[in-house]
Amino acid sequence: MSSAQISARFDEELDTLDLAESRQAAHILLEDANDDLIAEVQAKIGAGGMFGELAREYSDDFASAETAGDLGYTSGNTFPEAFETALAALELGEVSSPVTTDAGIHFIKLLDIQQDTYLLVDESSRIERELMREATTDQLIAKVELLKELSYNAESLIEVSEDVGLELNTSEAFSRSGGQGITGLSKVSAAAFSSEVVEDKYASEVLDLGDDRYVVLKLNQFIEVRQKELSEVRNSVVTALTASESARLLAEKGAELLAEIVAGSSVEMVAKNRDLAWQVGKSVNRRGTDVNAEVRSRVFTFPIPASDRVIDGFYMSNGDYVVAELTKVVPGDLSVLAKDARASLAAATLSINANRDVLAYQGTLREKADIVQ
């Protein structure tokens, strides 16, 4: 983008902006003042008295008096018209003559002036980015329209890609369920297997894939449905059979270990005899980190042992098989918790119960509701 284009856009934006001036005012309000009181305050102001101190002493606006009469900023429409007119006429630090409004008599001081700014040096980078984005969008729209026009009834996409200046790619063969890359998108595979593309040999419509991506398809080769040769699927078959056999052997081994421990052997003895990993967890709580989180979570679903241990085997998400033995459960003791921990637990319990009550109430409303279309 040229500096002239950036400057022109800046001027356009500047013309639409209202760069308002804000003025900070302080006042002394005399609600039922007589001439003597007004003259007294005016005399002290004229003698160089501190305006803030005079506001604390004389002002009937007790809220602003506590802050030396400061009323904050106004853009010209916050205070009564007479007040705003007097404020607008003041120089910085100047105090007005007495101003009358419905609230009473005001002495107004201009504390500060703020003017909104809008500078080319601050905005040029943003404007350049926006102009570039707009130009790119315009070019993209033009190219998409040209692609639609040239690909319609085109004998080949080679010439179309050259005329439009786009890259032409040939995909790997893929099925109706999709392939790799963009051929894995349902929109693309549906268009590729449409009767217009497969039977009539037309190019597809220009497909909008989102994120400013567009594609048009034309059939390169249609491969009839057939049984694949073993050489084509050997790797996947071997992988599947290996996984299946591994799962079978693991299930047999797990059942064998579980049976041996249930019969009376200890987890430690069975693990050592078979050179397997094992672990003892003592005083494990729900948030403990000494034991694998997945194992800990599963063991906390075991029933509480009555007179004997509870033993069970289960698979983990990574495919490992675990045999776990629960020997004892110690109930939680609220009295040992610190005061803040008890308060946190109570708050969490109240929240859970409240959510449960709300859900139950919503369910009752739905059951009793009459739906009218």
Instruction: Delimit the domains of the chain by residue range.
Output: 20-115, 244-326, 338-368
The pLDDT, as a whole number, for residue 284 is: 87
Cα separation, 131 vs 154, whole angstroms: 34
Q: Which of 168, 38, 25 is nearest to 89 (CA)?
A: 25
Q: Which CB contacts under 8 angstroms, 24+ apart, belong to 31-34?
A: 31/60, 31/103, 31/104, 31/105, 32/104, 33/104, 33/105
Residue 109, pLDDT score: 97
Answer whether 325's CB lies under 8 Å from 270's CB: no
Spatial CA neighbour of 117 closest among 1, 10, 9: 10
Given this model, what pLDDT does residue 223 score? 87
The predicted pLDDT at position 51 comes to: 95
From first to last of its 373 residues, the chain has per-residue pLDDT tens of 688 888 888 888 888 877 778 999 999 999 988 999 999 999 999 999 999 999 999 999 998 999 999 999 998 889 999 999 999 999 999 999 999 999 999 999 999 998 877 888 888 888 888 888 888 788 888 888 988 988 888 888 998 888 888 889 999 989 888 888 899 999 999 999 999 999 999 999 999 998 888 999 999 999 888 888 898 899 999 999 999 999 899 999 989 999 999 888 888 888 899 899 888 888 888 878 888 889 999 999 999 888 788 999 999 888 889 999 998 888 877 777 777 877 887 888 888 888 888 888 888 888 888 877 6
Token digits of residue 373: 């279309």
CATH topology for 20-115?
Answer: Chitinase A; domain 3 (3.10.50)
**CA of residue 278 relative to chain centroid, distance:** 42
Closest CA to 119 of 244, 224, 19: 19
